[in-house]
Structure 1
C-alpha cells in the first residue's frame, strides 16, 4: 500500500467535502437560473462539475495507492439565498474552507513523509489559489454592480471574466 490508513481516511473525508461543494454549487447555479441570470448560472454549473471532478480525482488516488475507499455522506446544500451577493459570498467562503482543508491534507502528507501524496496534492493547492481568486473577483464585481444591475455582471461574464 502506497498510502497510510490515516491519510487515506483524511482524503476520504475530503472527497465528501468536494461532493458537498458540487451540490452547493448546483444549488447556487439554480438560484441564478431562477433569476434568469444565465451566465452566472452557467458559471456555477461549471463550478459544480469541477468540484465533482475533484472528488473523483481524489477517489482514484486513494484507490490507485491501495488505500481503503470510504465515501462519506454529504451535507445538504443551502438552497435559498437572500441576494446574489450572498450566494457568491457563500461560494467564496466555501473555497476558503476547502483551501484550509487541502492545506491540512498537505500538512498530513508532509508529516508522514509521503512525497507521492504531496506531489499529487500540489495540484489541489494550485487549483485553490485559482478558485479563491475567481470567487473574490466575482464577488467584487457583484458588489460593484449591486442587485439592481446584475445584468452588467452577466455582460462582464460574457466578455471574458
Structure 2
C-alpha cells in the first residue's frame, strides 16, 4: 500500500514538472438530456433513502435489545438484525436507482451523512417489539406510496418506469412482510395468553428453527 502511494506521489510530481500528467481531471462535459426525473420526484426518492436508513437503525436497536444477556431472545434478535440488513439494502437500491437515472450526479454523501437515533430503545417483551416493527413497516410502505404519487401525479413528467420499479421491487415485499409480522403477533399473543413468559420462550426457539 505504501509503495502504491509512493508511485502516485511520484507521478504527480512528474506531472507537475512535465505538464503532461495530472492527478485531477476536468469536469466531463456530459449532455443532460437523458436526465428526466423531475425535482419533486428526485427529492422524494432522496428522502426515502433516509427513511430506510432510519428503519435499519431502529431494527438494529431491537436486535441489540433482545441480544442482551438480561433478555436473551436470540430468535427475536436474529429476526430484527436481518430486518436491519434488509432496510439497509433497500436504501442502497434507492441510491442505485437514482444514480442510474442521473438523479444523483454528486453529493451522494448528503443522503447518509446524518445522525440517526432510534425512536425506541427498549421493550417490555417480544410482542411489543413485533407490534412496533409492524407499525414501522406500515410507515415505510406509506412513504413508498408517497414517492410513487409524487412521481406519477406530476404535470411535468409521469415517471411510469419508477412507479413500476417501486411496485414490483418493493411493494409486494412490504405487503408480504407486514402480513408475516401480523401472523407472528397473532401466534405470540395466543402463546403468551396461555403460557406467559414460557410462551415467548417457546416462540423465540421456534424462530431459530
Q: 2:165 aligns with which of 120, 132, 137?
A: 120
Q: CA deviation at 1:114?
A: 0.5
In 1, the alpha carbon distance for the partners of 2:121 and 2:84 equals 14
Counterparts of residues 64-103 of structure 1 (less than 5 Å): 64-68=100-104, 69=108, 70-71=110-111, 73=114, 75-77=116-118, 78-103=120-145
Q: CA deviation at 1:19?
A: 0.3
Structure with bigger helix share is: 1
> Runs of 5+ in structure 2 lacking a partner?
1-34
In 1, are the aligned partners of 2:138 and 2:178 still within 8 Å (CA)?
yes
TM-score (norm 1): 0.91
Please give the root-mean-square deviation of Cα atoms over the aligned residues, in Å: 1.6
Q: CA deviation at 1:2?
A: 3.3
Q: CA deviation at 1:142?
A: 2.2
TM-score (norm 2): 0.71
In 1, the alpha carbon distance for the partners of 2:58 and 2:67 equals 14
Higher relative contact order (CA 8 A, sep 6+): 1
In 1, are the aligned partners of 2:123 and 2:129 still within 8 Å (CA)?
yes
Q: Which runs of 4+ in 1 moved over 3 A?
A: 72-75
C-alpha offsets along residues 16-62 of structure 1, whole Å, 9 cap, x if unaligned? 01000000001111121111111111111110000000000001111
> Runs of 5+ in structure 1 lacking a partner?
none
